[in-house]
Amino acid sequence: MSHDALSRSLTARGVQQAKWPAIWLVLLMACVWGFPYADGLLRIIEPDSSQVVYQRASLATLLVQHMLVVSAAAVITVVGGVLAAIVVTREWGRNFLPLVSQVASLGQTFPPVAVLALAVPALGFGTLPIIVALVLYGTLPIVRNTLGGLQDVDKEVKSASVAMGMTSWQTLRQVELPLAAPVILAGIRTSITINISTAAIGATVGASNLGDPIIAGIVNGNMAYIVQGALTIALLALTVDSLFERLQERLRSRLYTA
């Protein structure tokens, strides 16, 4: 395939995929704003319950709180995971590679529920324990993909940058990170998408988020509550995942057309 044909193919594919984030976002907003008025529809799921619309807090408020918790954990995991991977891929930091890999893997050996159980006595109930659990659970994909992306950069390309007079910092910033960006972004995408779903368990320790309707539904045996929380979380995850997919395509397109 010629360079121009490849560029046109990537552009056409990008235009087609650009529609999906908007579609998922519209569906998400329809659920958030529509469920309070869907009493009749929800009664099909739970006809014998006295109340089927979750009313302890608005889904819009819970959605914002859910996104804030996931975003806070994402900032910590992205900054910490990417920096740790960069350090251990430098000559002076290679001795720490096994340690960083083991620590990152350790986070996913503990179920988030177990992390919450250990964190609550020290941190108390609320949002902080779930942020800790999400950071531990979401670090591995970022560290693994950043390591893979940086290690896969062609050594000849790095040697050429050094021959051009670039410093090690310039080589990292202008050569290695741009080339590894799609792979790094894939790790960030996986981490955040998983944590959007995992964050729901924070409702068990007093964190107010989209897990509230799910927990309330389980406790009260109300499937309509569970559907409202679960469907909103699923659509949020699909929206965010499709946005990251679109961003990955744009990065790949730039690399191919550069």
Q: What is the 3-state secondary structure (H, E, C) of 102-170?
A: HHHHHHHHCCHHHHHHHHHHHHCCCHHHHHHHHHHHHHHHHHHHHHHHHHCCCHHHHHHHHHCCCCHHH
pLDDT, residue 13, reads 53
Name the average pLDDT for the chain. Answer: 87
Domain boundaries of the chain, sorted by first residue: 3-257
The more confidently predicted of residues 65 and 109 is 65
Measured CA to CA, the distance from residue 193 to residue 211 in angstroms comes to 15
pTM: 0.87
User: For 11-20, 108-117, 175-184, which range has the lowest pLDDT when averaged over its residues?
Assistant: 11-20
pLDDT bucket at 92, cuts 50 / 70 / 90: confident
Q: Is the pLDDT of residue 3 over 70?
A: no
What does the pLDDT read at residue 223? 95
Q: What is the mean pLDDT of residues 88-115?
A: 85
What 147-150 contacts at long range (C-beta under 8 Å, 24+ apart), as own/partner pairs, is: 147/85, 147/88, 147/89, 147/97, 147/101, 148/183, 149/179, 149/180, 149/181, 149/182, 149/183, 149/184, 150/85, 150/86, 150/89, 150/176, 150/177, 150/180
Mean pLDDT (whole number) for 216-236: 95
Q: Cα–chain-centroid distance for residue 221?
A: 30
pLDDT number for residue 228: 96
Q: For residues 52 and 227, give the distance between their C-alpha atoms in angstroms, rounded to a whole number.
A: 10
- For the domain made up of 3-257, the CATH class stated in words is mainly alpha
What is the pLDDT at residue 8?
52
